[in-house]
């Protein structure tokens, strides 16, 4: 029985997060917490329980002015019953 109808999958994501302003003694500070991130991933199933994943992302924090990049390779193993 083959679970996967396609041999691989790719994904793309964008995230924009907006936090809150700090308050001290009931006075709001002008320090809105925001950041943005873009990521990509590619997944290749090996069999019913195993798959490999390659991912990369980049993001920025407006408050601190820091840019962060991430790259990784992962192996995923699914165990147990279910679907």
The model's pTM = 0.58
pLDDT (tens digit per residue) in 3-33: 555 567 788 888 777 777 777 788 777 777 7
- Please give the pLDDT value at position 1: 45
pLDDT (tens digit per residue) in 27-58: 777 777 778 888 898 888 888 888 899 999 98
CB neighbours of 60 closer than 8 A, spacing ≥ 6?
Answer: 35, 36, 37, 66, 67, 68
- Please give the pLDDT value at position 3: 54
- Please give the pLDDT value at position 82: 64
Domain parsing of the chain, residue ranges: 9-72
Cα 34 from Cα 71, distance rounded (Å) = 22
């Amino acid at each position: 029985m083959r679970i996967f109808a396609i041999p691989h999958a790719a994904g793309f994501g964008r995230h924009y997060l907006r936090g809150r302003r700090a308050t001290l003694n009931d006075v709001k500070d002008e320090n809105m917490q925001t950041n943005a991130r873009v990521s990509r991933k590619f997944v290749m199933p090996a069999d019913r329980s195993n798959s490999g994943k390659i991912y990369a992302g980049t993001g920025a924090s407006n408050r601190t002015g820091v840019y962060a990049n991430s790259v990784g390779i992962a192996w995923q193993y699914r165990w147990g019953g279910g679907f």
